[in-house]
């Protein structure tokens, strides 16, 4: 009976069949990696099941054979196999959330299919890049299951029927397309296995001969591991096609026994910010893989770190729930965090030589947001170390690529400055337009410009550095003026009157100690959330308490002086529209206007008056 593929599979297969990919050879990497997964799974299953269906015994690891005459390649394993239901579910649909993104990325054409296939978990279908018919003969290792044959020409439909296999495992047979007969060659296949699957912990035999090294590279003595080997291992592990930016190799004998090889990718993985994605390094117990992603081994903010952890002290049959409660796991986790932070610290302190790539700058660009997340979540020593790793764009930079550490900021402070100043805003441009920076510019103080939403949380947690407080240029009363304003307006009457006029829209109206040129600015009061935080929460559609904003007036500004005069003379009907527009102006300057139509109306009324008085004058 012919069954239809899910629409997205058909679309995917179409792309596989009709595109001329130069790296079609990766089909073998994908099939071999699936066979290795199946072997890992059955080894693990064997720990809890005594009655698993036996394997053929003559497949030691994974066996690739080729029949040049018939134009077929087979990939065979004694792994966990597939039941009929599993064949339908796993080979007829794309179970992974990444599939839509895969198609999208492929269509956008930024990366080619071979680069994307493994990353998105659509590896099996890559067989159709070289085959016009694929058959999967399988028997599940679970006792009492029936053998199954799955077969498809890749054109919209597939068949599933009863098979005859009597030993557990899977044999995948590819009938090579006419344009792909080059792969019916054992030397070619050996080369491909060596290239992509060298460090798979299972031997892969091609035409009866082991073609890969098949060693657990993480168990080697760290100094013996060559960089190319480690990078090749990283690629098989992560499905990334680029070398990692950094590698950590740990072999610890006491008090716990474990080995870990961790990698920091050189580009962010596509699913870094997706929810409900399994994270964490692969966990092995005495070289048996027991979990593909052990999220317990690294905190969420280190979710960009890939790798393996192999422990002699973790029980093979440990469940996820148990894992969380295992002291061994907690200790390994702490040690891994320490080591990652130590390495990041070293990279961050290192001045790259002329022409050399700045590794830390790249890591920060890709994963800095997560390190900020860490600084916000963690406490004590870990937060301190993370704080040293933070980088910010600042007023002193020419563009938004500029980055400064808190240490460098502190070092560059002029005499008399005793605070690390920052401004949170929607973008660098809106920050630069803010009147809040006027007096800082004048004094020559640098100001960190924080434009990522996570920054609001960060500065709520990291409130000091090197015994200096971190403060917002927008918060509370501030006296930046050295020279007292002479003949400034007296705001004792105007301030309270304006506050009443705005009827709760602002918390207070007062004289400003931070403006040099502008007439007014909105600032945050000493407590409560900032205006920027309110904006972020609102944009994220989260309930936000209203920020308490204070309108500050520049008592030396002619407009403010005139307003104070009008108010003192009792000409409040003239002063009122002007005062309202002053608040509008402050909102416009920080880009948080919520009722532009009202401002438009007020502006028109005022222009009408102004034009009329121009005619009368």
Q: Classify residue 392 by its DSSP letter.
A: B
Q: Which does 91 bind (CB under 5 to 8 A by kind): ligand ADP, Mg ion, none?
A: ligand ADP
Q: Is 170 in the site for Mg ion (CB under 5 A)?
A: no
Q: Which does 35 bind (CB under 5 to 8 A by kind): Mg ion, ligand ADP, none?
A: ligand ADP
Distance between CA 409 and CA 355 in Å, rounded?
A: 25
Q: Is 79 in the site for ligand ADP (CB under 6 A)?
A: yes
For Mg ion, the closer CB: 78 or 446: 78
Min. distance of Cβ 147 from ligand ADP in angstroms? 13
Min. distance of Cβ 95 from ligand ADP in angstroms? 7
Q: Phi and psi for 371 in degrees, rounded to 5?
A: -70, -35
Interactions with Mg ion, residue window 24-53 (CB under 5 A): 34
Beta carbons within 8 Å of 499's beta carbon, 6+ residues apart: 506, 508, 509
SS (H, E, C) 413-476: CCCCCCCEEEEECCCHHHHHCCHHHHHHHHHCCCCEEECCHHHHHHHHHCCEECCEEEEECCEC
Please report where in the chains the tokens 């956008």 appear, as a residue. 108
Q: Is 30 in the site for ligand ADP (CB under 6 A)?
A: yes
Interactions with ligand ADP, residue window 213-272 (CB under 6 A): none
Among 91, 297, 586, 587, binds ligand ADP (CB under 6 A): 91
Using Cβ positions, the residue closest to Mg ion within the complex turns out to be 123
Min. distance of Cβ 157 from ligand ADP in angstroms? 18
Q: Which does 11 bind (CB under 5 to 8 A by kind): Mg ion, ligand ADP, none?
A: none
For ligand ADP, the closer CB: 77 or 552: 77
Query: Which tokens go with 243?
Result: 């070398």
For ligand ADP, the closer CB: 291 or 431: 291
Q: Is 98 in the site for Mg ion (CB under 5 A)?
A: no
Distance between CA 558 and CA 519 in Å, rounded?
A: 8
Indicate if the alpha-carbon torsion angle 294, 295, 297, 302 is positive or negative. Answer: positive
Please report where in the chains the tokens 């109306």 appear, as a residue. 601
Among 56, 65, 72, 90, binds ligand ADP (CB under 6 A): 90
Nearest CA among 60, 56, 202 for reference residue 193? 202
Q: Which does 122 bind (CB under 5 to 8 A by kind): ligand ADP, Mg ion, none?
A: ligand ADP
Percent helix, strand, coil in the chain, to 5, is 40, 20, 40
Distance between CA 485 and CA 480 in Å, rounded?
A: 12
Min. distance of Cβ 293 from Mg ion in angstroms? 15
Among 43, 88, 121, 538, binds ligand ADP (CB under 6 A): 121
Could you give the angle at which helices 99-108 and 7-18 cross, rounded to 10 degrees?
Answer: 40
Residue 290-319 contact track with Mg ion, rule CB under 5 A, x = bound: ------------------------------
Q: Which does 79 bind (CB under 5 to 8 A by kind): ligand ADP, Mg ion, none?
A: ligand ADP
Could you give the angle at which helices 596-616 and 572-590 cross, rounded to 10 degrees?
Answer: 130
Q: Classify residue 489 by its DSSP letter.
A: P
**For residue 280, how many other CB atoms are within 10 A of its CB?**
22
* Diameter of the chain measured on Cα atoms: 106
Min. distance of Cβ 81 from ligand ADP in angstroms? 6
**For residue 539, how many other CB atoms are within 10 A of its CB?**
11
Nearest CA among 63, 59, 57 for reference residue 172? 63
Outline where DSSP puts E strands in 501-542: 508-511, 520-524
Among 92, 123, 280, 368, binds ligand ADP (CB under 6 A): 123
Among 170, 197, 366, 387, binds ligand ADP (CB under 6 A): 170
Size of the site for ligand ADP (CB under 6 A): 17
Per the CB < 8 A criterion, the answer to whether 129 and 21 are in contact is yes
Q: Is 139 in the site for ligand ADP (CB under 6 A)?
A: no
Q: Is 294 in the site for ligand ADP (CB under 6 A)?
A: no
For ligand ADP, the closer CB: 138 or 403: 138
For Mg ion, the closer CB: 126 or 140: 126
Distance between CA 172 and CA 149 in Å, rounded?
A: 10
Q: Which does 446 bind (CB under 5 to 8 A by kind): ligand ADP, Mg ion, none?
A: none
The CA dihedral of 581, 587, 589, 591, to the nearest 10 degrees, is -140
Residue 34-63 contact track with ligand ADP, rule CB under 6 A, x = bound: xx-xx-------------------------
Interactions with Mg ion, residue window 111-130 (CB under 5 A): 123
Among 12, 26, 80, 371, binds ligand ADP (CB under 6 A): 80
Distance between CA 158 and CA 171 in Å, rounded?
A: 17
Q: Is 82 in the site for ligand ADP (CB under 6 A)?
A: yes
For Mg ion, the closer CB: 91 or 328: 91
Indicate if the alpha-carbon torsion angle 6, 8, 9, 14 is positive or negative. Answer: positive
With CB under 6 A as the contact rule, which of the stretches 44-52, 122-130, 483-491, 515-523 interacts with ligand ADP?
Answer: 122-130
Interactions with ligand ADP, residue window 543-582 (CB under 6 A): none
Q: Which does 170 bind (CB under 5 to 8 A by kind): ligand ADP, Mg ion, none?
A: ligand ADP
**For residue 346, how many other CB atoms are within 10 A of its CB?**
11
For ligand ADP, the closer CB: 265 or 368: 265
Per the CB < 8 A criterion, the answer to whether 578 and 585 are in contact is no
Q: Which does 452 bind (CB under 5 to 8 A by kind): ligand ADP, Mg ion, none?
A: none
Indicate if the alpha-carbon torsion angle 593, 598, 603, 604 is positive or negative. Answer: positive
Binding interface with ligand ADP (CB under 6 A)? 30, 34-35, 37-38, 77, 79-82, 90-91, 121-124, 170
Binding interface with Mg ion (CB under 5 A)? 34, 123
């Amino acid at each position: 009976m012919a069954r239809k593929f899910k629409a997205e599979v058909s679309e995917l297969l179409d792309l596989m069949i009709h595109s001329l990919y130069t790296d079609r050879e990766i089909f073998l990497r994908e099939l071999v990696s699936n066979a290795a997964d199946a072997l890992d799974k059955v080894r693990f299953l064997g720990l809890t099941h005594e009655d698993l269906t036996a394997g053929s015994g003559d497949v030691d690891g994974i066996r690739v054979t080729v029949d040049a005459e018939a134009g077929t390649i087979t990939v065979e394993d004694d792994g966990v196999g597939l039941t009929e239901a599993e064949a339908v579910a796993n080979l007829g649909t794309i179970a992974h959330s990444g599939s839509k993104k895969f198609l999208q990325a492929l269509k956008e054409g930024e990366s080619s299919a071979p680069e994307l296939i493994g990353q998105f978990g659509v590896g099996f279908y890559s067989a159709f890049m070289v085959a016009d018919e694929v058959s999967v003969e399988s028997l599940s290792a679970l006792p009492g299951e029936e053998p199954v044959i799955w077969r498809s020409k890749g054109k919209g439909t597939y068949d599933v029927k009863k098979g005859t296999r009597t030993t557990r495992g899977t044999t995948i047979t590819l009938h090579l397309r006419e344009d792909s007969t080059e792969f019916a060659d054992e030397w070619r296949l050996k080369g491909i296995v060596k290239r992509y699957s060298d460090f798979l912990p299972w031997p892969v035999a091609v035409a009866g001969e082991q073609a890969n090294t098949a060693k657990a590279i993480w168990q080697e003595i760290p100094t013996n591991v060559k960089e190319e080997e480690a990078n090749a291992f990283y690629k098989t592990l992560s499905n990334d096609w680029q070398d990692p930016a950094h590698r950590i190799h740990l072999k610890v004998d006491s008090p716990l026994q474990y080995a870990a090889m961790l990698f920091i990718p050189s580009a962010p993985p596509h699913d870094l910010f997706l929810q409900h994605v399994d994270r964490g390094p692969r966990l092995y117990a005495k070289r048996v893989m027991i979990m593909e992603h052990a999220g317990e081994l690294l905190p969420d903010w280190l979710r960009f770190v890939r790798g393996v952890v192999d422990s002699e002290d973790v029980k093979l049959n440990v469940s996820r729930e148990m894992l969380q409660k295992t002291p061994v796991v907690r200790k390994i986790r702490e040690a891994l965090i320490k080591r990652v932070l130590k390495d990041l610290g070293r990279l961050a302190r290192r001045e790259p030589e002329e022409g050399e790539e700045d590794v830390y700058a790249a890591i920060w660009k890709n994963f800095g947001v997560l390190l900020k997340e860490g600084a916000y979540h963690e406490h004590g020593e870990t937060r301190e170390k993370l704080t040293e790793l933070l980088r910010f764009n600042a007023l002193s930079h020419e563009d938004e690529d500029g980055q400064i550490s808190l240490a460098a900021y502190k070092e560059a402070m002029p005499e008399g400055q005793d605070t690390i100043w920052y401004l949170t805003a929607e973008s660098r441009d809106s920050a630069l337009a803010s009147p809040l920076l006027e007096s800082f510019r004048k004094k020559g103080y640098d100001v960190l410009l924080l434009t990522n939403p996570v920054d609001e949380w960060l500065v709520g947690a990291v409130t000091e550095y090197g015994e200096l407080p971190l403060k917002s240029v927008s918060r509370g009363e501030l006296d930046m003026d050295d020279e007292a304003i002479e003949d400034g307006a007296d705001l004792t009457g105007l301030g309270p009157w304006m506050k009443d006029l705005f009827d709760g829209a602002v918390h207070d109206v007062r004289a400003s100690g931070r403006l040099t040129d502008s007439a007014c600015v909105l600032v945050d009061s000493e407590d409560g959330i900032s205006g920027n935080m309110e904006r972020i929460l609102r944009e994220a559609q989260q309930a936000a308490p209203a920020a308490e904003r204070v309108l500050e007036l520049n008592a030396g500004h002619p407009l403010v002086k005139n307003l104070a005069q009008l108010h003192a003379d009792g000409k409040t009907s003239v002063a009122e529209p002007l005062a309202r527009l002053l608040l509008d102006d402050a909102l416009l300057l920080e880009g948080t206007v919520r009722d532009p139509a009202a401002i438009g109306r007020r502006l028109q009324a005022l222009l009408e008056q102004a034009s009329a008085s121009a005619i009368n004058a």
